Structure 1
Amino acid sequence: MKVYQSHEIKNIALLGSKGSGKTTLAEAMLYECGVIKRRGTVEGKNTVSDYFPVEKEYGYSVFSTVFYAEFLGKKLNVIDCPGADDFVGSAITALNVTDTGVIVIDSQYGVEVGTQNIFRTAENLNKPILFAMNQLDGEKADYENVIHQMRETFGNRIVQVQYPLSCGPSFNSMIDVLLMKMYSWSPEGGKPTISDIPESEMEKARELNQKLVEAAAENDETLMEKFFEQGSLTEDEMREGIRKGLITRSIYPVFCVSALRDMGVRRMMEFLGNVVPFVSEMPKPVNTAGEEVAPDANGPTSLFCFKTTVEPHIGEVSYFKVMSGTVHQGDDLINVDRGDGRERLAQLFCVCGQIRTPVDELVAGDIGASVKLKDVRTGNTLNAKGCEYHFDFIKYPAPKYQRAIKPVNESDAEKLSEILTRMHEEDPTWLVEQSKELKQTIVSGQGEFHLRTLKWRIENNDKLPVEFIEPRIPYRETITKAARADYRHKKQSGGAGQFGEVHLIVEPYYEGMPAPDVYRFNNQEYRMNVRDTQTIDLEWGGKLVVCNCIVGGAIDARFIPAIVKGLMDRMEQGPLTGSYARDVRVCIYDGKMHPVDSNEISFRLAGRNAFSEAFRNAGPKILEPVYDVEVLTPSDVMGDVMSDLQGRRAIIMGMSSEKGFEKITAKVPLKEMSSYSTALSSITGGRSSFSMKFASYELVPSDVQEKLLKAYEAEQTDE
C-alpha cells in the first residue's frame, strides 16, 4: 500500500456510551471505504471490531480496536473504543494517541453520563470533537430533544451540519446544511439519492446554514471579513473555517446516521476525509523532558507503544504510534523503558481488527503494529540510536473496584502471578498488588465487569480456575488516652538465660504536641526526663515517637534499639485486629536488666509485651479508610442514589447540578464501597458513574468496632 505522509494522515477515536452503536458504525465505515465487502453484526459475532472470544461471549466491546481506511486520497486511522465505563482506559488511551474524537450518541437516550465523561476527557486533552447522532431509526429516537440536551450540556458550540426529516422507523432522509442538499435512502440504506431541498424545508435549512457559516467564519479573520462583505462563504471556505474551529474546539459539528442501515455514514466519512485536521495540523505532543516533538518524517525515529494484546494464533501484538521520523521493516530500535533493550521490528503492519496488512515503512503520525517483539509493554518508547525521546503522557483514573484473587489450586499461585503481570501489561487499568498487610493478592479495576472480564480470560484463555473473594480492609489501630504497663521477660533453661524488664507509657500522638512531662496513674505520679526522642515515619502512614526517659542506667542504652524493634513488632500487627497501628508516642522510663542474662531478644520481647498491654488499656480504637466519592447521576434517580449512599454510612458533603446531571459528593468508608459500582449500575440502569479517592482514616463507630473485634477473635481461635 501507499506510504502516507503526516499531512495525509488523520487519527480518529470512535467514542460513546455503551450501546450507542460504535461497533456497528465502525462496520459501516469500513464497508463504505471498501475495506470489507459485507457488513458484520454484533449479534452475528462477525464484526471487525469485536473479534476476541470474550467480546463474542458478552456481545459488546471489551478492547479498543484499531482499523484504517484509505479514503479520498487520505489515510484514516480509527480506534473503536468500548463504551462501558469499566473500560474507560481504552478510550483515554485512544484520545491520547489520536487527534479527533467522534462521539456517538444514541438518539433514543440522548446525552448519557458516559457521554459526558468521555467529553470531559477530550476537553482535558484539548481534542477536537464531532458528534454522530446514531439510531435515528429507533422507536424512541427524538432528534430535537437530544440537540436541546447537547446544547445544555456542551454549550452553544454545538452546530448542526444535518438534521433528519423524521425520526423513528420512518427515518430515511435528512437535510445537509453544509452542502444544502437533501439525502434520501431506500429501506436497505447504502447509496443515497441526493436532491434539492424541498421548499417546505428551505427556511429551516437556510437558518441552520447561516449558523454554520457564522460558526465557520468566527475562526478566521479573512473569512469573517468575507462573510460580512458577501453574507456567505464557499463550500471550501466553510470547510477551512470548520477545520480551524475544530482545532480550537470552538465548534462541535453534529451529523445524522443510522449505522445499522448504513444511512449517512458515507457523508460523515467525507467530512472526516475533507475537513477534520491532519496529524501535521494538531498541537505537538510533549515528551517527558518537556520538549515538543513534531511529527517530522525526517526527524529521529521514535515510537510510542500504546497497546499490547495476546491474540489467537499470533501471540503478542504491539500497537504503536510513530511520534517522529520514519520506521522501516527490519529496523533495530532501543526500548528506553526496559533497560535500553534492543528490539528488531522484523515485520510492520497496518491493522484492521485482526486483519494485518504488511508495509515496508510508516512515517511520523501514523499508527501501526508489530508482532512478537521481545520485551515491549504498553507505555514503552522505542527509539533509533541517538534519539533520546521518552513519552509518558497517558494518565489513567484511579480504580473503583477491588477483589482479592487466588487460584483454586494453591500450587498454581506462581502461574497466576505471571498471568496477572501479563494482563496488567496489556491493560494498565488492571492493577495488581501483592499486599503484605492484607496477605492477599489484590486486583483493582474500573468496575465489576472489568474484573469479571479478567477472570473470564484467565479461566478460558489460560485454563486456570481462580476465585474472587472480598478483600480485607486495611484498618488502622490507635489509642485515645495515656496508659502505663511494665513487663518482665524471664527465661531460664540451663546456662545463660534471658532477662529483660521494661516500664513504659503510651499516649496518642499528634503533630506539635509538647514534650512529655508528668503522668498520673492510680494516684501515683510519673515524672519524665527525656534524654532523646526518636520519630519513626511509618510506611503505612502516621508516626511512632519513642522517648528515652531512662534515668540512673536502669536499662543500658545499647538495649533501646531492641525495645524499639519490639514496639515496631506490635505496630505492624496491632493488638486489636492485627492491623497496622499508628500515631502513638511511647515513653520508656524504667526497667531492669541482668549482668549476664540480658540481651537484645529479651528486651525486644519485653518491649513488645509491655507495649501490647499498655495499648489495650489506652482506649484503643480502630480507624477505617474513608474515601471522597463523587457520583454523577440523572435527576430522576437522585433520590434512590442518595438513599443507597446513606445506607452505606456516607456523609453527604454537597449536591450540585452539572450540565444536566446531579453531582453528589460524599465521604464513604471503603468497607461500604465494596460492590458500589454494581449497586449504582443496578439502581440507575447504568446511567450514573462515580469516582473515588482516598481521603483519610477515621474512627469506626463502636458497634462496627465490636463486630471487628469479635471477627478477629474468632479468626485467631480458628487458626
Structure 2
Amino acid sequence: MKIYDDKHIKNIVFVGAHNSGKTTLAETMLFEAGLLNRRGAVESGNTVSDYHEIEHQKGYSVFATPLHTEWRNYKINIIDTPGLDDFIGEIISSIRVADTLVTVLSAQQGVEVGTEIIWSYIDKYRKPSLFVINQIDHPSAKFEESFKSIKSLVGNNAIKVQYPLVINGSQCIVDVLKMKMYKFSAEGGKPEKLEIPKDQKETAAYLHNELVEKAAENDEELMELFFDKGTLNEDEMRKGIKTGMLNHELFPVFCMSALNDMGSGRLMGFIDNVVPSAADLEPEQSTEGKDIFPKKEKPVALFVFKTVHQPNLGQLTFFKVKRGEVKANDKLVNSRNGETETLNQLFIMDGKERKPVNKLSLGDIGATLKLKFTETNDTLSEPGHEVEIKPIQYPQPRYRKAISAVNTKDEEKLSEALKKIHSQDPTVVVSYSKEGKQLIVACQGELQLAIIEWMLNNIYGIEVNFEKPKIAFRETIQRSSTANYRHKKQSGGAGQFAQVHMKIEPWQEGMPEPEGFSIRGKEEVDLPWGGKLIFYNCIVGGAIDQRYLPSIMKGILEVMEDGPLTGSYIRDVRVMVYDGKMHPVDSNDISFKIAGAHAFREAFLNANPKLLEPTLELTVKVPEDMVGNIMTDLQSRRSIIKGVDSTENYQILKCIAPEAELFGYSTDLRSLTQGRATFKSSFSSYQPVPTNIQNELVKKGGLAKTEV
C-alpha cells in the first residue's frame, strides 16, 4: 500500500443528524475511488461502515467507523459517525482527530436538532468545516431553505460553492468555484461537464464574486490582489478558502445526492485540493501546555482516540500519528502509566476489514491489536521522548440506572463487561453506590442504555435487570440536645460498665467554640461521605479515663454510618462529651463504644433531625419558543430558577434541582422539545428535604426503599 506524507493525507469526519446520509456518502466515495465494485445500502445492511450486528438490527449508526479511500494521489481517511446524540462520545472522539469536518444535511430537513448539538462541539474545537446538502434529487428537497438554516447556524461565513439545478428532468450541479455545470444521468456517476446555461450565468457570477470576496478576506496578500485585479484565479481562491477554513471563519457549502452518486467525485476533488491536511493544523497541546509540533523527523507520538473490544480478537486500538513515523514492532511508552507497549501489527481499517501495513506516516490514522496497558485518551511515545497529549473532554452522563445480573453468578462477569464498554465509550460511567448497595451505569440516554443492554446480552452473554437508582440522602440535626446512657452488663466473669453524658449541636463552618465547657481536646473528622464530625473532650475531674474517648467516638461514627431516620449517613454534627462514670474493673473499650453510640443516637433523635437531599446545578439550553413549558416543568420538579441567559435563538436556564426529581429528565426533555433542548448537570449541595417528603421517606423504613 502506498505511503503518503502528511501533506497528502486528509482526515475527514462525517457528522450530521440521523438519516442525513453520512454512511451512504462514505460508501459512495469508496465506490467512486474504485475500492468497491458494488455499493452497499444501509437498508440492506451491507455497507462497509455500518458493519456491526446491532447497527444492522437498528438501521442506524451506533459506532464511529474509520475507513479510507485514495483519490488522485491523496489519501482520504474517513470516519463515519452516528447521528444520534446518545452516541456523542463516538462523535467527539472523531472530531478530536479530524483535519476537516464534513457536516451532512438532508435537503429535506436542513439543519436539525442533531446538527445543532454536534455543531456546538465542532465550534468548541474550531476545526475546519464544510457542509454538504445531501439528497438534492429528493422530491421534497429544499436547497435554499437548507442553506438558510446553515447561515442561521454559523452566520454569514457559510458560502455556496455549488447549487442544484434540474434541466429537462436531469439533475445538474452548478459549481461557482470552477464556474462549470455538471450534468448527471439517472444512474449518477461521472457527470457531463458543461458551460453554465445563459439563464444561470448572472446568478453563478454573483455567487462566484461572493466566494472570491470571502476567500480574499482571509489573507492580506489575496486582499491586495483582489483590490488590484477585481478578482482571483482558481488557485488563489483555493488558498483563501483554505485559510478561511483553518481560521474557522469560512464554511463552504456543497450539494449532492450520495444515494444516486451525484457530486461525490467533485467533493473528493475539493478535499484533495483545498481542505486542510494534517500538516496545516495548529500543533497539538501537551497536558503541560507545550506545543507538540507535527514533524516527521521528530520522535514518534501517537494519540489513542478509540478502543474497540471484539470477541475472538481482543482489543483493537485506533490512533492518529501526531509526531514522527510509526513502524510495526516499535516499542512505545504509555505516558499515563509508564508501561511499554509493542505495536506488533499496524493496520489501515475499512470497517471490519484490517489491511496490514509496515508503517504509518505523520498525520495518518491507523490501528493495532492487543495492547495491554493502553486505553482511549492515552499517548504512546518514543522512549526517552515521552509526551502526554491533552485528553478528550467527554460530556457528563445525563441518564442513570442501577444494573444487576439476573443470575447472581454473573456479577463479576458483569463488572468486567462494563469495564470494557466504558473503555469503548468513556461517556458510559460505571460506579458502585455503597449506600444504595447498587451498581450504577450512567450514560447519555435511553438509546445508549439499550445498546449497553444489547451488548451485555449478545456479546457477553449476561442477562441484566435495570432499576431506579436510590438517592444518597444525608441526615443532620437542627438544634442542640443532651443525652446520657449507662451501659451495664453482668455475666458470670468480668462485666461491662460505662456511662456517657454528651451534648450535640449542628455544626457549621466558622462557628465559635461551644460555651460552658472546659475543652480539654478537640478532633475534627472529615467524613468520607462529606461534612464533618467535631468531637470535643470536655471531661473534668477524671470522670472518664482519657483512653476511653476514642472508643466513644468510634461508637458515634458507627451510628453516623447508619442514621436513625432512613439509614443514611449523618453529617455536620459536633459532640461535647462532658461527663460520665467508669468502673475500675468492668469498664473497657467496648463498653464505652456502646454507651457512646446509644447516647449519640438518643441525642440525635431529640435534636430535631433533618433529612438532606442532593441537589444538582442544572443548565438547560432551550429554544426561545419553548422556554415557558420547560420552566413550568422545572418548577414542578421543585427546581429553583437562578437565572436566564440568551444566546442566538436559545435561552439558557440555570437552576438548582433535587436529584430525586430528575430521574428520566433526559427523556422527558427530549419529548417536551422534540429533541431540540439539551442540558448538563453537576452536583451542587445537600439541602433540607421538605417536611412532607421527609415524613414519607421515614415511613418507608430507610434507604433501601428511598428510590428516585
Fold shared, TM-score > 0.5 on shorter chain? yes
Give the match's secondary structure for 1:626.
strand
Q: How does 1:144-293 map to 2 (within 5 A)?
A: 144-165=144-165, 172-293=171-292
- What is the aligned partner in structure 1 of residue 668 from structure 2? 679
- The AA in structure 2 aligned to 1:128 is P
1:401 to 399, 402, 405: 399
Indicate whether 1:19 and 2:8 are aligned.
Answer: no
Indicate whether 1:605 and 2:594 are aligned.
Answer: yes
> For residues 357 and 10 of structure 2, what CA distance do their matches in structure 1 show?
18
Shift of 1:434: 2.1
Shift of 1:224: 0.5
- The AA in structure 1 aligned to 2:97 is V
- What is the aligned partner in structure 1 of residue 128 from structure 2? 128
Shift of 1:364: 1.7
- The AA in structure 2 aligned to 1:256 is C
- What is the aligned partner in structure 2 of residue 551 from structure 1? 540
2:585 to 581, 592, 596: 596
- Paired residues, what number? 706
2:360 to 350, 359, 362: 362
Indicate whether 1:51 and 2:40 are aligned.
Answer: no
1:491-548 residue CA offsets vs partner (Å, 9 max, x unmatched): 222222222222112222111111111xxxxxxxxx3222232222222222221222
> For residues 135 and 518 of structure 2, what CA distance do their matches in structure 1 show?
79
Shift of 1:185: 2.1
Q: Cα 1:409–1:106, aligned 2, differ >3 Å: closer, same or farther? A: same
Shift of 1:339: 4.4
Shift of 1:350: 0.8
> For residues 194 and 12 of structure 2, what CA distance do their matches in structure 1 show?
30
- What is the aligned partner in structure 2 of residue 76 from structure 1? 76
Q: Following superposition, which runs of at least 4 residues in structure 1 exceed 6 angstroms of deviation?
A: none
> For residues 169 and 559 of structure 2, what CA distance do their matches in structure 1 show?
73
Indicate whether 1:538 and 2:527 are aligned.
Answer: yes
Shift of 1:715: 5.5
Shift of 1:314: 3.1
> For residues 529 and 13 of structure 2, what CA distance do their matches in structure 1 show?
40
Structure 1 unaligned regions, length at least 5: 518-526
> For residues 673 and 19 of structure 1, what CA distance do their matches in structure 2 show?
30
Of stretches 209-218 and 140-149 in structure 1, the one that deviates more from structure 2 is 140-149
1:345 to 343, 351, 368: 343
> For residues 113 and 545 of structure 2, what CA distance do their matches in structure 1 show?
66
- What is the aligned partner in structure 1 of residue 143 from structure 2? 143
1:437 to 435, 438, 442: 435
Indicate whether 1:506 and 2:495 are aligned.
Answer: no
Structure 2 unaligned regions, length at least 5: none
Is the 2:470–2:703 contact (alpha carbons within 8 Å) kept by the matching residues of 1? no
- What is the aligned partner in structure 2 of residue 522 from structure 1? none
1:588-631 residue CA offsets vs partner (Å, 9 max, x unmatched): 22222222222222222222221112112212111111112222
Indicate whether 1:708 and 2:707 are aligned.
Answer: no
> For residues 131 and 528 of structure 1, what CA distance do their matches in structure 2 show?
74
- What is the aligned partner in structure 2 of residue 572 from structure 1? 561
Length-normalised TM-score, structure 2 = 0.95
Q: Cα 1:35–1:492, aligned 2, differ >3 Å: closer, same or farther? A: farther
- What is the aligned partner in structure 2 of residue 623 from structure 1? 612
Indicate whether 1:632 and 2:631 are aligned.
Answer: no
Is the 1:485–1:610 contact (alpha carbons within 8 Å) kept by the matching residues of 2? yes
Shift of 1:313: 4.9
Is the 1:114–1:689 contact (alpha carbons within 8 Å) kept by the matching residues of 2? no
1:582 to 564, 571, 574: 571
Give the match's secondary structure for 2:440.
strand
Q: Cα 1:652–1:107, aligned 2, differ >3 Å: closer, same or farther? A: farther
Shift of 1:166: 6.4
1:408-452 residue CA offsets vs partner (Å, 9 max, x unmatched): 011111111111112211211111112222211111111121122
Give the match's secondary structure for 1:454.
helix
Shift of 1:240: 0.5
Q: Cα 1:574–1:181, aligned 2, differ >3 Å: closer, same or farther? A: same
Of stretches 124-133 and 630-639 in structure 1, the one that deviates more from structure 2 is 630-639
- What is the aligned partner in structure 1 of residue 306 from structure 2? 307
Is the 1:6–1:279 contact (alpha carbons within 8 Å) kept by the matching residues of 2? yes
Shift of 1:137: 3.4
Q: Cα 1:253–1:364, aligned 2, differ >3 Å: closer, same or farther? A: same
> For residues 166 and 531 of structure 1, what CA distance do their matches in structure 2 show?
93
Shift of 1:39: 1.7
Q: What percentage of aligned pairs have identical amino acids?
A: 49
Indicate whether 1:661 and 2:650 are aligned.
Answer: yes
Shift of 1:647: 2.8
- The AA in structure 1 aligned to 2:284 is P
- The AA in structure 2 aligned to 1:473 is I
Is the 2:517–2:578 contact (alpha carbons within 8 Å) kept by the matching residues of 1? yes
- The AA in structure 2 aligned to 1:115 is T
1:617-664 residue CA offsets vs partner (Å, 9 max, x unmatched): 212111111112222334454444334333322223344443333433
Of stretches 214-223 and 652-661 in structure 1, the one that deviates more from structure 2 is 652-661
> For residues 160 and 258 of structure 1, what CA distance do their matches in structure 2 show?
16
Give the match's secondary structure for 2:291.
coil
- What is the aligned partner in structure 2 of residue 104 from structure 1? 104
- The AA in structure 1 aligned to 2:634 is L
Length-normalised TM-score, structure 1 = 0.94
Shift of 1:285: 0.6
Is the 1:434–1:442 contact (alpha carbons within 8 Å) kept by the matching residues of 2? yes
- The AA in structure 1 aligned to 2:642 is M
Give the match's secondary structure for 1:165.
strand
1:548-596 residue CA offsets vs partner (Å, 9 max, x unmatched): 2222222222222222222221222222111122121222222222222
1:252-300 residue CA offsets vs partner (Å, 9 max, x unmatched): 1111122222222222221111111111111011222332212222211
Is the 2:171–2:183 contact (alpha carbons within 8 Å) kept by the matching residues of 1? yes
1:210-247 residue CA offsets vs partner (Å, 9 max, x unmatched): 11111111111111111001111011110011111111
> For residues 392 and 489 of structure 1, what CA distance do their matches in structure 2 show?
59
> For residues 18 and 570 of structure 1, what CA distance do their matches in structure 2 show?
53
- The AA in structure 2 aligned to 1:350 is I
> For residues 477 and 135 of structure 2, what CA distance do their matches in structure 1 show?
61
Is the 2:436–2:704 contact (alpha carbons within 8 Å) kept by the matching residues of 1? no
Indicate whether 1:316 and 2:305 are aligned.
Answer: no
- What is the aligned partner in structure 2 of residue 454 from structure 1? 452
Shift of 1:404: 1.0
